Structures are given as C-alpha cells and as structure tokens.
C-alpha cells in the first residue's frame, strides 16, 4: 500500500462514524496529486484534504481536526459546556433504560468523583469498572444541579495502565432502608452487555436469552441524608442468607420472580444497617454492610426526620 493510500485511509477512519459519505477515490486522487506529484509534506497534504472535505462535503470540522482539550482534575470541573480531557478510574457502572445511552456511571480521580455518560451514537468500546482511562475531548454538563461529563463522537477513550487513586471519601453511616428501587430482586441481564433486561429485551441487543442475577437497589436514610445503595449477591447472602440459587428456587416454587423481591423487602425494608463505603454525590458505594440494632433515641430521631 502506497503512502498516499495509507493517508487516505487515516482520513476515512476519522469519518467512520459520520453521516457524511465520501468516495475514497476522490480523496486518494487528491492525496496522490499533493504527495506524489507536487511533493507537499504529508502533514500539510492531510490538512489540505480535510479542509476540502469540510468545505465541499460539509463534514463538521470537529470530526476531522482533533480538539486539543486541556487535561484537568475532576475538582476543576465547575461549569458546563467546557471541553476537557481527564484521567480517571471507573468507580461504578449503572443500568440505563435509555437506548440513547451506551454507558452511565461514576468515574473518579484523587480529587473527586463525577457522573459520566457515554452516548450510544459515539460508538465507543465499553469501559469496565476498576479500570483507568484517558477520557479525551469530553464536554462538561450540568444535570439536576450536578456536574457530569458527556462522551460523544468526537471524544476518545484510551485505557491506561496508570493507577488512579480515588479520593479519601471513606465513610461509615448508620441508617434505615426506606425504599426499594426499580430493577431489584431476581433480575435478568443481557449475556452480551450485562444490562438489565426489560420484558426479555436488551435496549442494545434486542431479544436475548439473558442470565439471572440477584441485587437490591435501595434508598438508605440516616435522618440527615439519603443515599442510593446497590447490594450485590454477596451482600444479600451475607445479610439474609439468600444466594442466587435460593432466589431462583423461590421464584420457581411460587411461579413468580417478584416473590423474591417481596421476601427481600420483608427482611430488609425498615431495618437499620451499619454501612461502610465511598460517597459519590448522593450515591454510596457500599464496601461493607451489616444489620444494626439502633438505640431507641436513634430510632425516634430517624422517625421524626422521615415524617
């Protein structure tokens, strides 16, 4: 493959997620003319071709010319509509019921934790919890009064080996589970992307067989603040002795998967717990949880706060 062909394919790679269709022959012809006949430096030839595509084909400049966004820390994100880059660790992934969202969750560095959204149209490879990445050219946004970062088509996500430390936000609280949230109990996940299925359908992959999982999404209230917590199978088994196999058996015996949720509510709802975890906004990332027997004074104070 000639150098002109390689440069042409590099430009086309930038357009792979674009709605604009450009003929390879058109780019290659101009590239050969510039590089091989007129001996234009390769970088200048690429720049000339990309300017041509912007003018003649209406290709958005940001899809061709990489934005040079400053590398910042999460604590420096204070206002929306700012183009930035940051190195961060994926702290937690959440389920999304929107077909427009590929992934959503929390990322963090040593200065803070922030919500992130990867839009489906970005066509990005999925990130994994616990891994660190360079998030290039993302845009800050504000949703319901909280800052977040949005990752779109012009962004890039590069996995890095660098260890990103999370902020020292370990906390211990004592509170009661006051409500359960949607998608709690015995749920089914997509065996491809692990998202929760809705009526047997994955928003990303359509109708799939799926696999069973056991979890609780709940609101914990300590009388002053409310926290959304997620308990996995290990947490649930430690608290009430129910494993995934037990949950499947309960559902089969009652011919109803919701019977698992009913039993979990009966055992956990309104009970006090001692929780250790990391706070990220209103979310508490649970590391350890156990039953707690409150003093009568504590109970009365919480009751007054909830009324």
Contacts within 8 Å (CB) and 24+ apart, 283-287 = 283/92, 283/106, 283/227, 283/228, 283/229, 284/171, 284/173, 284/220, 284/227, 284/228, 284/229, 285/91, 285/92, 285/106, 286/229, 286/230, 286/231, 286/235, 287/170
Give 41: exposed, middle or buried? Use CB within 10 Å, 0-12, 13-18, 19+: exposed
Encode pLDDT of 42-95 as tens digits.
888 888 988 888 888 887 666 565 667 899 999 899 889 899 999 999 988 888
Of the candidates 259, 249, 184, 257, the one whose C-alpha atom is nearest the C-alpha of residue 214 is 184
Q: What is the pTM of this model?
A: 0.56
Res 302 pLDDT > 80 = no
Q: pLDDT category, 121, cuts 50, 70, 90?
A: confident
pLDDT at 191: 85
């Amino acid at each position: 493959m000639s150098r002109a062909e390689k440069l042409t394919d590099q430009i086309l790679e930038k357009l792979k997620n674009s709605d604009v269709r450009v003929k390879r022959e058109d780019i290659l012809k101009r590239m050969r003319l510039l590089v091989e006949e007129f001996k234009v430096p390769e970088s200048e030839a690429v720049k000339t071709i990309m300017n041509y595509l912007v003018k003649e084909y209406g290709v958005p400049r940001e899809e061709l010319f990489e934005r040079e966004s400053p590398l910042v820390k999460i604590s420096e994100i204070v206002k929306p509509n700012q183009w930035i880059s940051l190195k961060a660790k994926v702290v937690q992934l959440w389920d999304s019921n929107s077909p427009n969202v590929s992934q959503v969750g929390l990322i963090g560095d040593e200065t803070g934790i922030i919500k992130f959204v990867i839009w489906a149209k970005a066509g990005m490879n999925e990130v994994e919890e616990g891994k660190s990445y360079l998030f290039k050219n993302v845009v800050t946004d504000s949703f319901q009064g909280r800052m977040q970062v949005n990752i779109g088509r012009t962004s890039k996500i590069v996995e890095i080996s660098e260890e990103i430390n999370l902020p020292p936000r370990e906390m211990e609280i004592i509170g009661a589970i006051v409500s359960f949230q949607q998608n709690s109990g015995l749920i089914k996940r997509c065996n491809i992307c692990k998202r929760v299925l809705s009526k047997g359908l994955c928003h990303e992959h359509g109708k799939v067989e799926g696999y069973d999982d056991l979890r609780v999404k709940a609101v914990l209230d300590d009388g002053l603040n409310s926290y959304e917590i997620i308990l996995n199978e290990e947490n649930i088994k430690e608290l009430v002795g129910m494993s995934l196999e037990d949950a499947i058996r309960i559902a089969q015996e009652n011919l109803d998967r919701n019977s698992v949720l009913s039993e979990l509510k009966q055992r956990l709802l309104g009970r006090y717990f001692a929780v250790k975890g990391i706070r990220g906004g209103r979310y508490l990332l649970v590391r350890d949880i156990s039953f707690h027997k409150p003093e009568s004074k504590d109970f009365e104070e919480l009751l007054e706060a909830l009324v």
